[in-house]
Structure 1
Amino acid sequence: MTNEEQQEPADGVAGGRALWEDALGMAALRALAHPLRVEIMNELSDFGPATASMLAERLGESSGATSYHLRQLAKHDIIVEDAERGSGRERWWRMAPGGVTIGSPETLDTPAGREANEIISLGWQQNNERRLSAFLRRGLDTFGFEWMESSTLSTSHLELTREQLEEFGREYYALQDRLKKKWKAQEAETDERKRVQVQFNAFPLVEQEDR
């Protein structure tokens, strides 16, 4: 499971290499498995670089608390200091290149590791639901009809084998990678860009086993 910050594809299998090989080890996983740290990571991933005081205001925390948790995340290279934005008075932070991947066999092999993975993955999912709910409630008033018309909310149901499900993920990330490279070359052509979150889920329904 991966949370990305506009990075290369990072979920399932890419280029024939299992991505859990890049997943957080136990120490980093346990460092991230704190509700406020997951929230901080989500803010940096969703909206880009920020300072401790900016994050404190958004999350309703003290700047001392956010500063402390930022330093803990930085110790494990989950985030890095944004030297280009920093000044003598403020330190800016951003997601580390490559995003964050969790769920390695090593960490799932122990109760503590499974609990930490669950805390983080549930935090990500709750954040995704908040972002989507905000879009549904306020998207039209905020962005106008054309942006709403260009957005996509899609749910599909397929009958797949495990190998086909894995292939589906690879093809999705290959498409995303190809388009990101294409759009990167077009960056200077327009200033009408807005921050966009892509939510894509493909998984077998657990409840089907109860039917």
Structure 2
Amino acid sequence: MTTDEPRDPFAHVRILDPGALKALAHPIRVEIYDILSQLGPQTASSLAARLGESSGVTSYHLRALAKHDLIQEVEGRGTARERWWERPRGSVSFANPEAMKTPAGRAASQVVMSSYFDRRHRQLADYLAHAYDVEPEEWQEAAMLSTTTVRMTAPQLRELALKFSALLDEAATTYRDQTGPDVRPITVRADMFPLEPAEDAEDVHEGDPQ
């Protein structure tokens, strides 16, 4: 059965339960989780080198994440002394409506989301600071940084989010396992949220395609 309706991005998303949120609510664990998401399987030693921590510290945090199935061992890879870890495939939501009803749940969710987006913001800032000096021209021209302000209702925003999600899912499915000398991990951001209402504000488009 096929349909022209955009796929609901929340239909097959793992919503982290309070226990998993609490386990993830540590800046280093969020960093580890996101590194595994972006760069693929890592060991405690490779993570330690990236984070400037000891392998003992990263091993401790890896075990805590694995306890709640946030990460898993890579099957058939590694040894008893050097295990490889990966993030299971699939979408994850840090916003659990039930958890948000309690102070502890809200606090854990805020730590996770703040740490996650802090890392992504640092990556963007680093790209802006160094892209024109270190990135080849073809990558500079292929990248795009753009923001747009529009006037919408909540249902219209929801429809737009569904369309974006369908497009991103298509790209993720098509290129998920692609490898090769010219292949690099790409971060794609789609932040859509309401601003404070303002009378007589004009639509503004600010773009910086590169």
The two structures have a TM-score, normalised by structure 1, of 0.83
The CA distance in 2 between the partners of 1:158 and 1:108, in whole Å, is 29
The CA distance in 2 between the partners of 1:20 and 1:123, in whole Å, is 24
Percent sequence identity over aligned pairs: 41
Q: Which amino acid aligns with 1:147?
A: W
Contact map agreement 2:48 2:58 (CA 8 A) in 1? yes
Query: Deviation at 1:16?
Result: 4.6
The residue aligned with 2:189 is: 199
Mind listing any 5+ residue stretches in structure 2 that lack a counterpart?
1-5, 202-210
Contact map agreement 1:40 1:55 (CA 8 A) in 2? yes
- Aligned pair 1:65/2:63, yes or no? no
Distance of aligned partners of 1:177 and 1:122 in 2 relative to their CA distance in 1, 3 Å threshold = same
SS of the aligned residue for 1:22 comes to strand
Between stretches 200-209 and 84-93, larger displacement belongs to: 200-209
- Aligned pair 1:79/2:71, yes or no? yes
SS of the aligned residue for 1:133 comes to helix
Which protein has the larger Cα radius of gyration, Structure 1 or Structure 2?
A: 2
The residue aligned with 2:20 is: 28
Contact map agreement 2:65 2:71 (CA 8 A) in 1? yes
Counterpart pick for 1:170 among 159, 162, 167: 162
1:113-137, Cα deviation, whole Å (9 max, x unpaired): 1111100110111011111111112
Contact map agreement 2:43 2:83 (CA 8 A) in 1? yes
Give the helix-richer structure, 1 or 2.
Answer: 1
Mind listing any 5+ residue stretches in structure 1 that lack a counterpart?
1-13
Distance of aligned partners of 1:131 and 1:104 in 2 relative to their CA distance in 1, 3 Å threshold = same
Contact map agreement 1:20 1:103 (CA 8 A) in 2? no
Give the strand-richer structure, 1 or 2.
Answer: 2
